[in-house]
Amino acid sequence: MPEVEHQSLPDTVHRILRTRILNNDLAAGSRIVETAVAGELGVSRATVRAALARLQTEGLVEISPRRHSVVTRLSHDEIQDACYARYVLEEGAIRAVLARGAAELIEPLTDIIDRMTRAANRHDMATVVDLDTEFHGRIVTAAAKPRLATLWSTLDGQMGAVMRSSLEEQHLDLAEMPKMHEELLDALRTEDPEAVAETLYRHYLRDDYKL
């Protein structure tokens, strides 16, 4: 691999390792050794350490004091906790959006699903996660509620870990992700707040909670 460009190095190393973890090139239980990553990417151990610290806050690794990290998965309860928080915030955002009409969202959300489908077909989960964030972020932004959007953004970091862990826990294929977003988009087209809320609930929580 060519040497990493010396621009925002921790961000670049974070992106490389995050992609490997989400795409399961580094599976659960894999060890990530600072010195090995630093040598491969041509960066300092301090740069790798900063990237790993960020991955730890995102729930993707656990850092050992012995200069290595282990790829982890979230527990069922952690997945549900994160999904419930997102559902509550997004359900409020959707009601604000529907009060004005959702027509302007349909085309950009359709485009995101198309890109998500292509990413899923090439088994690129890292890109699917980024597109999931973009999809739901569009909805939240359209609500024009700045405080809600700020709260929402604090949940973005762990969604990679949530989706990677959830797929494995539920034995889902990555191809299910675009389909789940298509169902939500179909509900948005109806502009029926209750129908959209119910679909959103299933989107995030499936059968683990009952309304």
Instruction: Using CA atoms of 137, 141, 142, 145 in order, give the dihedral in degrees to the nearest 10.
Output: 140
| Lookup: tokens for 189 | 């087209």
Q: In this predicted structure, which of 88-92, 93-97, 124-128, 206-210 has the lowest mean pLDDT? A: 206-210
Tell me the per-residue pLDDT of 12-35, one tens digit each, with 9 for 90 and over: 999 999 999 999 999 999 999 999
Structure pTM?
0.87
User: Over the chain, what is the mean pLDDT?
Assistant: 90
CATH topology for 76-205 is: Four Helix Bundle (Hemerythrin (Met), subunit A) (1.20.120)
Contact at 8 Å (CB) between 161 and 112? no
Strand partners, 62: 70
Domain with CATH 1.20.120.530 in the chain: 76-205
Question: From 3.90.950.10, 3.20.20.100, 3.40.50.300, 1.10.10.10, which CATH number describes the 9-71 domain?
Answer: 1.10.10.10
| Lookup: tokens for 47 | 């740069």
pLDDT class of 111 with cuts at 50, 70, 90: very high
Predicted confidence at residue 8, as pLDDT, reads: 81
Predicted confidence at residue 7, as pLDDT, reads: 56
CA dist., res. 96 & res. 192, Å (int): 12
Tell me the per-residue pLDDT of 41-55, one tens digit each, with 9 for 90 and over: 999 999 999 999 999
Residue 187: C-alpha distances to residues 25, 98, 140, 156 (Å): 35, 11, 16, 23
Predicted confidence at residue 66, as pLDDT, reads: 73
CB atoms within 10 A of CB 47: 22
Predicted confidence at residue 32, as pLDDT, reads: 95
End-to-end CA distance of the chain: 50
pLDDT at 3 over 70: no
CA dist., res. 146 & res. 116, Å (int): 27
Question: Cβ-count burial of 113 within 10 angstroms (0-12 exposed, 13-18 middle, 19+ buried)?
Answer: buried
Predicted confidence at residue 162, as pLDDT, reads: 92
Residue carrying the six token digits 């969604």: 159
Tell me the per-residue pLDDT of 126-175, one tens digit each, with 9 for 90 and over: 999 999 999 999 999 999 999 999 999 998 888 999 999 988 888 888 99
Residue 75: C-alpha distances to residues 65, 89, 103, 169, 205 (Å): 23, 22, 37, 9, 14
Domain with CATH 1.10.10.10 in the chain: 9-71
